[in-house]
């Protein structure tokens, strides 16, 4: 049974990393007019209440998106603009953010008429909230396994593909499952842009994922890691993103975004990145 609820962690430094990467990849792909088929394999509930009990209990957004929000008037990198505009729309009042979009909402707010989004969610409560949110939007929700669902939908009819794979990794085998699915998905759509998030753990469990992908035959795999400057003794020490087929110039632009919010008064992290597998 699934017990993970993303609202406890919504807007933390890892969400900032993941959602900055997603919005950057999508806006860069939209430099061309051709349609993008979007797939969000582990969508969650789409919108989070940062003032509610769950998010307040962990306070994780305080060292994540709330810090970015406090810096907003000083941010020069124009690639923050889509995120800041959506946050401002959802939070018209002064003060800390109370509403924070989950990944399907980031996809959806950037969607053009020609783009589509299919969002998968397995948890019954989370999928009900996702379906309710999607009712007035051009988003197809599928209640079920996102990895199987993705493979069943590939190759897409649209000429371009953008996929976010963001499991909760509640099951240890998820790392292996994700890498195997990515291998199959890439074989069905080699030009697709695939973003995979994973936690960096003191146990080193996550290492299965980059290790497997490195030897999988998939080409053009970019690796971006945000390492906490003050990591805990046990648990998550950083946030990892794998990007297959990053748009040209993606790494410089992501680095410029993260660099601006990485100081002591922002996300307290180091950014390291490079090719896991080059072309
Ligand atoms: N992508 C979301 C975001 O960025 O806002 C957060 C997603 S959260 C990390 C992972 C979600 O995956 C949880 O809501 C969980 O219920 C769901 N989940 C777990 N296993 C799944 C599966 N096999 N297929 C689809 N969803 C799954």
Which CATH number describes the domain made up of 6-277? 3.40.50.150
Looking at 15, 40, 166, 174, which residue is catalytic? 166
Residue nearest to atom 23 of ligand 1 (CA): 145
Closest-CA residue, ligand 1 atom 7, reads 44
Q: How far is CA 88 from CA 9, 32, 163, 166, 250, in A?
A: 20, 27, 26, 25, 25
Is the CB of residue 50 less than 8 Å from the CB of residue 95? no
pTM, entire model: 0.97
User: Which of 148, 167, 175 should be mutated for ligand 1, with most atoms under 8 A from CB?
Assistant: 167
264 alpha carbon – ligand 1 mean position (Å): 30
Q: Ligand 1 mean position to 188 CA, how many Å?
A: 23
Query: Which residue from 106, 67, 102, 104 is spatially nearest to 85, judged by alpha carbons?
Result: 106
* 211 contacts 260 by C-beta, under 8 angstroms: no
How is 138-187 classified by DSSP, letter by letter?
A: T-EEEES-HHHHHHHHPSPSSSEEEEEE-----STTHHHHHHHHHHHHHH
Residues with CB under 6 A from ligand 1: 2, 4, 6, 18, 42-44, 102-103, 120-123, 126, 145-146, 166-168
Strand order in the sheet with 221-228: 140-143, 116-121, 36-40, 160-165, 193-201, 236-244, 221-228, 269-277
CA distance readout (Å), 154 to 80, 107, 149, 259: 31, 19, 9, 35
Distance separating alpha carbons of residues 142 and 149, to the nearest angstrom:
8
Q: What is the pLDDT along the chain (279 residues), one digit of tens a residue?
A: 678 888 889 999 999 999 999 999 999 999 999 999 999 999 999 999 999 998 989 989 998 999 999 999 999 999 999 999 999 999 999 899 999 999 999 999 999 999 999 999 999 999 999 999 999 999 999 999 999 999 999 999 999 999 999 999 988 899 999 999 999 999 999 999 999 999 999 999 999 999 999 999 999 999 999 999 888 888 899 999 999 999 999 999 999 999 999 877 778 889 999 999 998
8-state DSSP, 262:
-
Q: Does residue 155 have a cis bond before it (omega within 30 degrees)?
A: yes
Give me the half-sphere count of Cα atoms (radius 13 Å) on the Cβ side of residue 52.
14
DSSP alpha helix (H) spans, the chain: 13-29, 53-58, 65-70, 81-90, 103-110, 124-134, 146-153, 174-188, 208-214, 250-260
**Other residues' Cβ atoms within 10 Å of the Cβ of residue 94:** 5
201 phi and psi angles, rounded to 5 deg: -120, 150
């Amino acid at each position: 049974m699934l017990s993970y609820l993303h609202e406890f962690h919504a807007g933390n430094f890892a969400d900032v990393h993941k959602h900055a990467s997603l919005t950057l990849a999508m806006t860069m792909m939209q430099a061309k007019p051709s349609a993008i088929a979007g797939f969000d394999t582990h969508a969650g509930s789409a919108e989070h209440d940062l003032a509610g009990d769950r998010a307040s209990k962990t306070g994780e957004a305080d060292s994540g998106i709330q810090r970015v929000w406090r810096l907003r008037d000083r941010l020069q990198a124009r690639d923050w603009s889509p995120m800041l505009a959506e946050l401002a729309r959802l939070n018209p009042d002064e003060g800390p953010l109370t509403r924070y979009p989950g990944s399907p909402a980031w996809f959806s707010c950037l969607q053009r008429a020609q783009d589509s989004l299919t969002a998968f969610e397995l948890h019954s409560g989370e999928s009900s909230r996702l379906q309710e949110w999607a009712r007035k939007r051009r988003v197809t929700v599928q209640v079920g396994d996102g990895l199987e669902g993705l493979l069943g939908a590939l190759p897409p009819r649209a000429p371009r593909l953008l996929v976010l794979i963001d499991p909760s990794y509640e099951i240890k085998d998820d790392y292996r499952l994700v890498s195997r699915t990515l291998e199959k998905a890439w074989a069905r759509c080699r030009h697709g842009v695939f973003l995979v998030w994973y936690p960096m753990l003191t146990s080193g469990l996550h290492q299965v994922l980059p290790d497997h992908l490195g030897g999988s035959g998939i080409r053009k795999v970019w690796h971006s890691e945000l390492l906490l400057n003050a990591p805990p003794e046990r648990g998550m020490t950083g946030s990892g993103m794998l990007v297959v087929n990053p748009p040209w110039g993606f790494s410089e632009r992501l680095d410029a975004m993260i660099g601006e919010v990485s100081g002591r008064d922002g996300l307290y992290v180091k950014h390291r990145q490079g090719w896991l597998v080059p072309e």
